[in-house]
Structures are given as C-alpha cells and as structure tokens.
C-alpha cells in the first residue's frame, strides 16, 4: 500500500500546522538545541496571499514569545511579495522585523533561486540599516558569494552560510560538489576570522570538523557562531554537538506548501531519496 506523500515528507517537514512546528521546537529545546521556524511557501504572485503570509510570520513570532520557545524565524522573500515587486516585499519584511525586534528575536532571510539574489541582498541591507535582528543566507555555490560576503563583513551583518539547493547554470555557479565545498570552506573561514556571527549550515562532517579545528586554532568564541542543520537530517550529530557545548540550531519547516522544499532535499542527498523509496513501497 502506497503511503500518502506527507507521510514520507515528515522526515524533513515537521507537519502542516504551527502547532506541529512548536511541538518539534519544544523537543529540540529540551535537548539544548535552538530552532528556526519556517512556514513553507514561495513564488507568491498575489498581494492578498503575500499579506496573509506576512501575518502568518507575525503570528509565529507572537507564539514563540507567548510559549517561551527558543526559536527564530526564516522567511523567503518571494513568499511575502518579492515575485510581485521589491518595494512591496520590503514593506512586508519590515512589518515582520518590527515584531521580531519587539520580542528580541531574529529574522533569517532565506536565499532563493538566482533571479531573486540581488533583490534579496538589497532588501537585506535595507533591513540591516534599521535593525541588527536580521540574518541572511548566503549560497556558497554562487561565484558572486565571496564579494557578497566581503560586503556583509563591512556592514557587520550576520550570515547563515549554505551550499545552495537550487539548480543554477554553470555560468553563475559551481556545479561540482568539490568546488562548492572548497568555496564553502573559504567563505566560512573568512567569516569566522572577521568575527561576523555565522550560522555554519551544513551536514558535511568533513566541513564541520574543519570548522572545529579552525575555531580552536583561532580561539574563536562560541558566541560568534552556531552549527545549523535541517530537520530530520543527522539528528545524532545535532545532539552530539550540543552535548559538546556548541550552539546548535535546527531549521524546522512546516506548512501545506511543502513539496518544493521536499523536492530540493531529495535532489541534494542520495540517501534522502532512498529513505523515501523505502517507505513508498513498504506494504
């Protein structure tokens, strides 16, 4: 009997409701692990839906504060209007950031496909000029990312460094895994050395071990970085790092618009696809 899609997507998605996400966050918090909540959705082209998504994020912040959850939020700008107009998205993002400031919480701005990259940077720098409670995801597989990181350093921004999960042409991005890993390590060390707060968002154990060696050698404070991983991946490593006294954050996505996120997770890792196939054909 074939299982319903959400059943095997639950490996990577906390559920469809905020209650599901808050429950997952509490479980991580009980193990000393911070969380970042993300209400899934992207490429919204209707202003009404974009405003509704903005209200949803404000509600998430209200609930994090009300229930004393150790969490921040991650927002895709195309979900709150970037696919409509940059100015409109900036207004929506500003509303979310103001509520986050009220509760002393952080807003992570997620990075999406390359058609949104420059606009995302523009909005991030605008928000950063108003508040330090904002962080930006930077994709190591883009050629431009080294220059972008240098600019963020000069403006004392905070970075969530990821490898990149969108399919991009060779004209703008590394396509070989080894090249992306090499650039990730270069950018990671650059950010750590300049004492910019960094979320080291990877499950690559070689890169994590290299980060630990570099941090120890350079005597970098544990307050200046965290390891960030995705919900459902390397749970044992998440707990191990937390037990060793490192800050660890788990990215907890939820919502009905889970398929694009789920599909990117399958493309990234062969073992993710094997997990799904195993459960898809289980009798």
CB atoms within 10 A of CB 275: 17
Q: How far is residue 23 from each of residues 17, 20, 32, 49, 58, measured CA to CA in Å?
A: 10, 5, 15, 26, 18
Q: What is the 3-state secondary structure (H, E, C) of 52-117?
A: HHHHHHHHHHHHHHHCCCCEEEEECHHHCCCCCCHHHHHHHHHHHHHHHHHHCCCEEECCCCHHHH
Cβ–Cβ < 8 Å for 103, 58? no
Calpha distance 215→202 (Å, rounded): 16
Give the residue among 279, 221, 261 at the shortest CA–CA distance from 16.
261
Instruction: For residue 29, give every residue at least 6 positions away whose Cβ sits within 8 Å of its Cβ, in sequence order, or none.
Output: 35, 69, 70, 71
Give the residue among 219, 222, 155, 144 at the shortest CA–CA distance from 187.
144
Q: How far is residue 190 from each of residues 93, 115, 147, measured CA to CA in Å?
A: 28, 26, 11
Cβ–Cβ < 8 Å for 118, 151? no
Query: Hey, what are 262's tokens?
Result: 């789920």
Calpha distance 185→187 (Å, rounded): 6
Positions marked catalytic: 110, 160
Instruction: For residue 276, give every residue at least 6 positions away whose Cβ sits within 8 Å of its Cβ, in sequence order, or none.
Output: 8, 11, 266
């Amino acid at each position: 009997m074939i299982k319903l899609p959400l059943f095997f997507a639950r490996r990577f998605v906390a559920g469809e409701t905020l209650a599901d996400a808050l429950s997952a966050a509490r479980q991580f918090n009980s193990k000393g692990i911070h969380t970042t909540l993300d209400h899934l959705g992207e490429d919204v082209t209707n202003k009404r839906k974009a405003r509704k998504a903005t209200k949803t994020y404000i509600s998430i912040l209200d609930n994090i504060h009300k229930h004393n959850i150790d969490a921040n939020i991650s927002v895709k700008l195309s979900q709150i209007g970037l696919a409509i107009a940059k100015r409109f998205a900036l207004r929506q993002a500003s509303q979310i950031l103001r509520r986050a400031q009220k509760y002393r919480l952080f807003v992570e701005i997620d990075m999406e496909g390359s058609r949104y990259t420059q606009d995302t940077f523009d909005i991030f720098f605008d928000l950063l000029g108003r508040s330090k409670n904002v962080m930006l995801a930077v994709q190591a597989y883009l050629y431009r990312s080294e220059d972008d990181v240098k600019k963020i350093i000069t403006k004392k921004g905070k970075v969530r460094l990821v490898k990149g999960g969108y399919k991009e042409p060779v004209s703008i991005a590394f396509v070989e895994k080894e090249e992306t890993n090499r650039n990730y390590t270069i950018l990671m060390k650059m950010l750590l050395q300049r004492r910019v707060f960094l979320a080291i968002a990877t499950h690559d154990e070689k890169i994590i071990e290299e980060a630990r060696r570099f941090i120890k050698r350079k005597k970098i404070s544990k307050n200046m970085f965290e390891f960030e991983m995705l919900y459902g991946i390397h749970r044992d490593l998440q707990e191990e790092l937390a037990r060793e006294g490192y800050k660890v954050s788990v990215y907890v996505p939820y919502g009905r618009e889970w398929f694009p996120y789920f599909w990117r997770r399958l493309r990234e890792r062969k073992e993710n696809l094997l997990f799904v196939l195993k459960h898809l054909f289980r009798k």
